[in-house]
Structure 1
């Protein structure tokens, strides 16, 4: 069926092609014309924008749809500040869920508690009152599990990361998580994914990178969310994070054997792999991928024709992965390696020498600026785990951008909220001012950067001939340089955030208020 042509008139357009444009023609999914409203060509439909701002739509370059949907409709624990508050929240929520089912909760962060000791498996069992309880920590790299949920995981006591307290990490967490998510019916899973994608569209997000893989989700879960792509919802680019799984990733419809392919864990759970020990715990974390394994994986991805990539947060993990890039470069040449636009997720603790190697090998940094807003600075979780000096070196996003590292911004939802303007603000005003970047550059990493990271070059700008993929915004705080005012002025007042009124993907409206 041929879609009607549409003129979007009486708006303001963030476009280098015509910064003064007030109207845009969309025909057959592409931008057919851009210019003054008085000169607009005829079209089947005219939409009066009423002075609203039109920008390229956002891309969330790291998301978990099922978890995001469950968190949106489930138990939000981000506000609890003690074990007692957590148990009260679980008990109240459990009463709304059927006996015999699983209570899914997310977002507790013990680093914000005065007494940083979570409740035990037995206490959770009592709070669940006949329901198994699974509560993912803010990083989603550990979780609290009730006694009955642990009992449902055969042999869990012998799995690395198990603890009798019910606070499970890494492999033990993956096992518990598989049982908890496996309790969902196919219809429940699809409903959660649909809820997440609708939420994304309502925030001006037209595409997401779904990061899946063994331990994170399942093949059935991955296939389910890929099937929703573009069906009146954002486009989904799938990443399957399995070491040596390039062929399987391609079979599953993924664009990459990347994303949540864990080279290490997370700082919040003290499992990110570090060169120097944690300040508040023994050891240097967990390393899951050697340089040789990383190199072999990248070579397999090059042979199969998919992107390769890794989750790497700590400096030791990032160094091992980059050593793997060097191995691959020696085998096939730097130019061929760079063609793949392979990626590293998170890249939180990285120094100048490693940043230079990112540039050399053409590695995309898929990063989450809001991590710094939540946990950075001299007095938050990073400082607890690493000490102030190392904490202030984390997430050097502006420094990476300044020397030419390709950036793509994401939320890692539900780890942080699906709020793309928050990512722009966090990158433009980081806790360490040495890592600032302009609002314009941060916006580019949140839009065109996400498309490029998925290998798509013709989306992400408002230019005639390009895809008509955009969002329409109300801008209550006004405009500055063609974009909404986002940062506080000299008076320190925090501006009101833009409000999404419409999101369009390849000419099709996927959200309209």
Structure 2
């Protein structure tokens, strides 16, 4: 392998907060220090990069993505406000344009759209099946809600897949639960060549955002076992020039033999769980709540019982891998806590803690639940961008739950302060692969008492992902001598030490303070621009020119 010297910049390293240069040799950080010393190293390097003041920092790990769906979303009809869709009429116009532009050979292939959120539209509702039929000229259509826990479909797709005979079907074309799973599978029915291309596009996009690894949360209604095997094998070597995929498979186990069968079928799997759903989502009214929704009848849907959770945790613990669950509502969290405690009664608290089981989202965590999670060594994969998208007094959370309950969602400061291991992710395509947006959302949480420092948020977005997957023993997630060269180069207007209340702390001149700089992430500040992404010394993305 080759060596690269990065110099004349700012190196984000607690080992040397004043470093201006860094040498990568054979995929490892070989040296870091001041620019004067770098003069003597330039001759031996195969490449010398003049950073011109740019920041070199550990590469991001997105701890919750769906690679196939992210790639498909990048190619689908965009239906979010960011794409200019601000009403039901805009959405139907976008579908009609896409239908007209399709080739005749695609007539039987579902037209895919992604990202609608009826709470942002003046009509306050999604399209109906009849409206989709008219807009798309009778073509099969699948439009996923932004949370991907429900969708609306056309008559052609409903009839072709028998959706109207499944639980979760509504006559207006809205699909949830089993009906949505079937529609989702139909929308993701691809040739092997097309699937590989979609994977590549999603991973290349992640690399362009400074991401060196993603946790793929695979499940039967999201992607196939074979697809997960392809992702793991095709990215195992950094020579692939793609981010490393860390794999989780959401299949429910009853016995340890079930777990071993999954591990045998998917070599290299890190965990059995992840998007193993205990409940749904708040946006789709399917997150399981203790008290009814404020804007609809009912309290959501509980998909797994404490007994099923306990059996699964016991099985995967005995198989020697992580387990995990998707859990959002407080009623669902109660069920998870009960199941974990039951598993601990069988296996022992120490065994459960050593396994490092993880929960995805965990948006509603009260004090008793937090105590249980700490006792059982549970790790959390959370999405700060959810708060930026739907938090606040006028956000979707307040609409669904009322202002009181909504204000307690996503308690990042409580979780971090309690010492819960945290990793940040996007849940792409639910929110975009944009790690700085997640860091910014944590620093500017809509509940001021739940804000955390930029440094803590950045660590949860870098080292936190390696730690959650049990892969931090190599030093991944930090820039220090001997650590793997997983890094990204950024152009940022201002570099500061940012406190959780938005103040800018003074930068101590004492190296023992260990406070390396990060981009300023104010609400109106332009996001840092990625110039290069490197994994194990291999360049994944390059805009340095």
TM-score band w.r.t. shorter chain: over 0.9
Q: CA deviation at 1:225?
A: 2.7
List runs of 5+ in structure 1 lacking aligned partners. Answer: none
- Are the aligned partners of 1:216 and 1:260 in contact in 2 as well (CA < 8 Å)? no
**In structure 2, how many angstroms separate the alpha carbons of the residues matched to 1:120 and 1:44?**
60
Q: Give the one of 483, 501, 516 matched to 1:482.
A: 516
SS in 2 for 1:228: helix
Q: How does 1:420-435 map to 2 (within 5 A)?
A: 420-435=435-450
**In structure 2, how many angstroms separate the alpha carbons of the residues matched to 1:221 and 1:286?**
29
Q: CA deviation at 1:210?
A: 0.7
Cα-to-partner distance string for 1:407-436 (whole Å, 9 max, x where unaligned):
010001110011100100111111111101
Q: Give the one of 200, 203, 223 matched to 2:229.
A: 223
**Aligned-CA RMSD value:** 1.5
Q: Give the one of 308, 317, 320 matched to 2:332.
A: 317
Cα-to-partner distance string for 1:65-86 (whole Å, 9 max, x where unaligned):
1111111122110122332221
- Are the aligned partners of 2:66 and 2:427 in contact in 1 as well (CA < 8 Å)? yes
Q: For this pair of structures, how many residues does the alignment match?
A: 505
Corresponding residue for 1:21?
A: 19
- Are the aligned partners of 2:305 and 2:335 in contact in 1 as well (CA < 8 Å)? yes
- Are the aligned partners of 2:69 and 2:222 in contact in 1 as well (CA < 8 Å)? no
- Are the aligned partners of 2:521 and 2:527 in contact in 1 as well (CA < 8 Å)? no
Corresponding residue for 2:529?
A: 499
Cα-to-partner distance string for 1:226-247 (whole Å, 9 max, x where unaligned):
3432411100011101111533
Q: CA deviation at 1:248?
A: 4.1
Q: Give the one of 247, 260, 283 matched to 1:247.
A: 260
Q: CA deviation at 1:329?
A: 1.5
Q: Give the one of 226, 229, 233 matched to 2:242.
A: 233
Cα-to-partner distance string for 1:7-44 (whole Å, 9 max, x where unaligned):
22222111011111122121221111111232233333
Q: Give the one of 407, 410, 417 matched to 1:392.
A: 407
- Are the aligned partners of 1:468 and 1:506 in contact in 2 as well (CA < 8 Å)? yes
Cα-to-partner distance string for 1:461-501 (whole Å, 9 max, x where unaligned):
0111111111011112343353334333xxxx721211110
**In structure 2, how many angstroms separate the alpha carbons of the residues matched to 1:130 and 1:279?**
36
**In structure 2, how many angstroms separate the alpha carbons of the residues matched to 1:169 and 1:486?**
41
Task: Give TM-score, length-normalised by structure 1.
Answer: 0.95
Residues 1:188 and 2:161 are matched in the alignment: no
Corresponding residue for 1:367?
A: 382
Corresponding residue for 2:542?
A: 512
Q: Give the one of 50, 64, 67 matched to 2:66.
A: 64
Corresponding residue for 2:398?
A: 383
Cα-to-partner distance string for 1:30-66 (whole Å, 9 max, x where unaligned):
1111112322333333222222111100000000111
- Are the aligned partners of 1:366 and 1:410 in contact in 2 as well (CA < 8 Å)? yes
- Are the aligned partners of 1:152 and 1:179 in contact in 2 as well (CA < 8 Å)? no
Between 373-382 and 45-54, the greater mean CA deviation after superposition:
45-54
- Are the aligned partners of 1:477 and 1:497 in contact in 2 as well (CA < 8 Å)? no
- Are the aligned partners of 1:14 and 1:482 in contact in 2 as well (CA < 8 Å)? yes
List runs of 5+ in structure 2 lacking aligned partners. Answer: 498-514
**In structure 1, how many angstroms separate the alpha carbons of the residues matched to 2:8 and 2:86?**
48
Corresponding residue for 1:122?
A: 130
Residues 1:179 and 2:186 are matched in the alignment: yes
Corresponding residue for 1:96?
A: 101
Between 232-241 and 23-32, the greater mean CA deviation after superposition:
23-32
**In structure 2, how many angstroms separate the alpha carbons of the residues matched to 1:111 and 1:38?**
56
